[in-house]
Structure 1
């Protein structure tokens, strides 16, 4: 029979409270992980455009009507500038409209930045292709109608000439005249170019997305174990400083060496993961030093149920309900996800912000871990005399 802390069975009146409490906890966990995906609604998604003033006005009007504020266009002078902006993660893609009539437009995507946005841009390319095909069909039909009209006029003139010749006792003139020009059907195909594509080892980006959860869990496990199993702030700090680099090397080795989910420099990826783990585990040990076991619980719940869901690891930041997407980038999971994606696919992007965010969280956590604040020490409870006698 299950016993309570006082040695007797659990009182019956506590069972409904425990059951309801656990049910509510499960509901909170479900909300935390499903809310960002269910409420995903893109706002001000940065997309580049290369077009003339007249074209820009037309496409801006069309996109505003269709997207309802989901897309924010950024104008660029030429295709090369738009490509640079994509590689620097300033925009997720770009639409390049031709300067000369008859040339094909081009849609630039970056599946490594977001497969979801790349698919959306491919949909725009299909819409453009449908519009072009409609215009081509209309032009061909106009040309056919004009050719038929010209042929009818030529035949009427020939008949009139023949009748006049017969009436005058002359031989009808031989048919002649200029040959009708053939009707040509132009071919204009909208090009779609993936400027920054996902690696062949991770064609859907699933590995890069899946890398986030073990990194967060790894940071939490390290922080919880060090907080509960190691006594002394300085010793906990040393534990974090040993654990984080080793865990970073191990996780990067699995994710990059075995699965191919990460690209670029192995050591840089390992350093990013190590710093993220230090930021998460350091926060847990820091709050544990301030509030004891309650601090461990608060830090773990904060990282797992708040920071991780709004990290925008699976969708672009603009898809998370504002302002939570932006807030998530100031927390360790969000900064780590952005940093790993940049290190793997966007070496030209400015990575100062995510490095600083992770560094500040790690440093603050370790400082709180080792800092001797007034009232931090709590008296150790005296052992139970009866138990000690036994």
Structure 2
């Protein structure tokens, strides 16, 4: 009997059985046919298809790798380029003294670095520093050069002004004397605590929105999460202010004013995060988080002051919540509120925009609930 006859016989015998029998016989016939074809040709009858989505998955992995590498490069540029190009950029500098000496200083200093302003005497110069009209100054006299600095307005700028005064004194073979007009606290004369504030300030806006969304997700809890973000800003700012006052000694100013300013800064970050998250989900939240990480943090000027950054970057930094919060903190803690108007306006704009987005999301959620009840 041939192989085909032997295979056909069971088919005829079980042809009148149920579905199960038919399936088993058909499967046996397929296997037998495939085996015969393999024996005849020496190759398999069919090649298994590739795993579904294999090429697409590889492309996605490649895109992620390239994207992450680009992100790391941009992160280095965001943090490294402002530092590499750091220096005085049109910083207002006060100078007093004999007219000829003042004219000589004006001609010597690069105009792209220093904006020289003339004052009648040293007293007028120090008043201008308190009023934040200048970042520091030089009082030129016959027997020496008096250098007036405000480290609380920017440590690097103050160091540069001290260097200018020392250089002028050496040229004239006289003595240079430095006077600190507005400085940090005695326990932190270099303002280390203020420079370390950038990350706590940024995460003070990110973390409450992120964690509260995990603990109480959904549109139904949005109103409660809004209250949580506001409460967190007040409580966290109180703790941060306490550290700057009592632990590091960076700030000697009024506690309540500093606390409320920091709380406003955290709120100006938290409300936009919450608004974008409520309207666009995690994509909106992550988009703003990346922008704050790449732009808000390195351009905030918390460690350097605004005049140490290139002009365009400095302006952009002060229009972002972190830069505005840093400017408000300097004004409240060291200059009795002088110069607080602009950062308050920026923080108010960001807070209002974030709150508006939250209110829109609440309204949408209310309409959805009414539609479900009506249906």
TM above 0.5, yes or no, is: yes
Report the Cα offset of residue 367 of structure 1. Answer: 2.0
CA distance in structure 2 between the aligned counterparts of 1:247 and 1:317, rounded to whole angstroms: 25
Cα distance between partner residues in 1 of 2:358 and 2:155: 40
Match of 1:361 in 2: 350
Distance 1:348 1:17 in 2: 49
Q: Distance in 1 between matches of 2:87 and 2:161?
A: 16
- Identify which of 73, 78, 93 aligns with 2:116: 73
- Do residues 55 (structure 1) and 98 (structure 2) align? no
Measured at CA, do residues 20 and 376 of structure 1 come closer, stay the same or move farther in structure 2, by a change above 3 Å? Answer: farther
**In structure 1, what is the Cα distance between the partners aligned to 2:337 and 2:322?**
22
Runs of 4+, deviation exceeding 6 Å: 373-379
Picking from 153, 172, 183, the partner of 1:197 is 183
**Residues 363/14 of structure 1: CA separation in 2 closer, same or farther (3 Å cut):** closer
Please say if 1:21 is aligned against 2:67: yes
Aligned position for 2:164: 124
Q: Which residue is 1:166 aligned to?
A: none
Instruction: Check conservation: 2:233, 2:266, Cα contact below 8 A.
Output: yes
Structure 1: gaps spanning 5 or more residues:
1-5, 134-187, 380-390
CA distance in 1, matches of 2:337, 2:118: 20
Mapped to 2, the partners of 1:362 and 1:263 lie a distance apart of 28
**CA deviation profile, 1:49-68 (whole Å, cap 9, x unmatched):** 112332322221122xxx35
Q: Secondary structure at the match of 1:112?
A: helix
Q: Is the 8 A contact 2:144 2:169 kept in 1?
A: no
Q: Is the 8 A contact 2:275 2:361 kept in 1?
A: no
Question: 1:223–1:280: 8 Å Cα contact kept in structure 2?
Answer: no
Q: 2:132 aligns with which of 63, 79, 89?
A: 89
Offset of 1:351 from its aligned partner? 1.2
Match of 2:307 among 294, 318, 321: 318
The aligned residue for residue 253 of structure 1 is 242
Q: 1:302 to 1:227 in 2, by over 3 A?
A: farther
Give the aligned partner of residue 286 of structure 1: 275
State whether residues 269 and 321 of structure 2, in contact with CA within 8 Å, keep that contact through their aligned partners in structure 1. yes
Equivalent-residue separation in structure 2 for 1:226 and 1:253 (angstroms): 25
Aligned to 1:184: none
User: Deviation digits for residues 170-194 of structure 1, max 9, x if unmatched?
Assistant: xxxxxxxxxxxxxxxxxx4232211
In structure 2, stretches of 5+ residues that fail to align are 1-51, 369-375
**1:159 matched residue in structure 2:** none
What is the root-mean-square deviation of aligned Cα atoms in Å? 2.7
TM-score of the two chains, using structure 2 as the length reference: 0.76
In structure 2, which of residues 291, 294, 302 is the aligned counterpart of residue 305 of structure 1?
A: 294
After superposition, the C-alpha distances for 1:278-337 in whole angstroms (9 at most, x for unaligned) are 110101111112212211111111222112221122223223222221121121100111
- Alignment correspondent of 1:217: 203
What count of residue pairs does the alignment treat as equivalent? 314
Contact 1:50 1:95 in 2 (8 A): yes
Bigger fraction of residues in helix: 2
Q: Verify the 8 A CA contact 1:226 1:285 in the aligned structure 2.
A: no
- Compute the displacement of 1:348 (Å): 5.6
Summarize the Cα distance change of 1:132–1:225 in structure 2 as closer, same or farther, 3 Å threshold.
same
Quick check: 1:113–1:341 contact (8 Å CA) kept in 2?
yes
Structure 1 residues 252 and 106, CA gap change in structure 2 (3 angstroms): same
Native 8 Å contact 2:274 2:285 kept in 1: yes
